[in-house]
Amino acid sequence: MSISNIFAISGSAMSAQTVRLNTVASNMANVDSVASSADQTYRARKPVFSQMMNDNMKNYGWSNATIDESGAGVGVKVDAIVESDAPLQPRYEPDHPMANEEGYVFYPNVNPMEEMADMMSASRSFQTNVEIMNSAKSMMQKMLTLGQV
Amino acid sequence: MAISFDKAFAGHDKMLGFRSARAAILANNIANADTPNYKARDISFDGMLANEQAKLKLSATSQSHLSGGSSATEGGLFYRNPNQPSLDGNTVDMQREQAEFAENSLQFDTSFMFLDRKISGMKKALTGN
């Protein structure tokens, strides 16, 4: 039954969007985390999404996903969380307790505007998947009432 | 005369199967709205019909007869033509997918209603009141 697949599909999308929201929260929390050297500084983290096919759906723990004979993929997964390559912000603050010998402190490459936009996009996508799951639920509940009148 | 459920349901039961399969494919498109390089897919009723017809074989009464019937394609599944593909190679148009999903669930309800009425009609014929 493909309707029960929808729960796994939307569920995987909701968990992927939650990971995305988590990275946004982490980035925003660390927006002012300074360090004395470039390699110790926090870098903005971004999730990489990829399409899930039947076999890795099962490996992912969505055991209720049935074999989809039409061959379309089922759901989405977070492939990796990568750190942004954007340049860090060294600032000349010689009085700062974390300043290095030259008087610089390194600020993370988190862009708060970008993060806020990402947050809105993630929560909208999450909401859409909740709606899809609700529709699937009402379709399934309706199926149970077949021939009851 | 035996009651044939296949004839009585007039294909509405098959239609429910098609609608739920399509709902899963559209849900998958929406789930992958933020996946780079994902291409939106869909199935059409015509595609499914052609696919089923391709499975029909001509009867071969002589060795020189051709078997007929081509091999089935990939379940009638096709890729969407994007209106405006994004830079990351994703072709999901969220508004379109939501509209298609809403339309599909309405058509699911329609098929369900037809099937339900067929069953209550049969019940009425059996009980006679």
Question: Which pLDDT does position B44 carry in this prediction?
Answer: 84
Q: B53: pLDDT confidence band, cut at 50, 70 and 90?
A: confident
Does the pLDDT value for residue A132 go beyond 60? Answer: yes
Indicate which of A10, A49, A120 best probes the interface with B, i.e. most B CBs within 10 Å of its own CB.
A49
Residue of A10, A13, A72 with shortest CB distance to B41: A72
The pLDDT > 90 percentage for chain B reads: 33
Does the pLDDT value for residue A63 go beyond 60? Answer: no
Residue with the bigger pLDDT between A71 and A29: it is: A29
For residue A56, the chain B residues in CB contact (below 8 A) are: none
For residue B24, the chain A residues in CB contact (below 8 A) are: 2-3, 5-6, 9, 68, 72, 74
Identify the burial level of B82 via C-beta atoms within 10 angstroms of its C-beta, where 0-12 means exposed, 13-18 middle and 19 or more buried: middle
Rounded (10°) CA dihedral A59, A9, B16, B58: -50
Indicate which of A4, A48, A76, A127 best probes the interface with B, i.e. most B CBs within 10 Å of its own CB.
A76
Q: A113: pLDDT confidence band, cut at 50, 70 and 90?
A: very high
A50 to chain B, any CB pair closer than 8 A? The answer is: yes
For residue A12, the chain B residues in CB contact (below 8 A) are: 31
- What DSSP state is assigned to residue A35? B
For residue B23, the chain A residues in CB contact (below 8 A) are: 2-3, 6, 135-136, 139
Question: Which pLDDT does position B98 carry in this prediction?
Answer: 94
pLDDT tens per residue across span A3-59: 888 888 899 999 999 999 999 999 999 999 999 998 999 999 999 998 887 666 666
B36 to chain A, any CB pair closer than 8 A? The answer is: yes
> Is residue A90 helix, strand or coil?
strand
Does the pLDDT value for residue B70 go beyond 60? Answer: no
pLDDT tens per residue across span B19-42: 988 998 999 999 999 999 999 988
What ipTM does the predicted assembly reach?
Answer: 0.81
Q: Are strands B41-43 and B77-79 parallel, antiparallel or unpaired?
A: antiparallel
Specify the length of chain A in residues: 149
CA proximity to B91, closest of B99, B103, B102, B79 = B79
Residue with the bigger pLDDT between A90 and B68: it is: A90
Q: A70: pLDDT confidence band, cut at 50, 70 and 90?
A: low
| Alpha-carbon span B38 to B30, nearest angstrom | 11
Give me the mean pLDDT over the A85-93 stretch. 92
Which residues have C-beta within 8 Å of that of residue A84, sequence separation ≥ 6?
A43, A44, A45, A46, A109
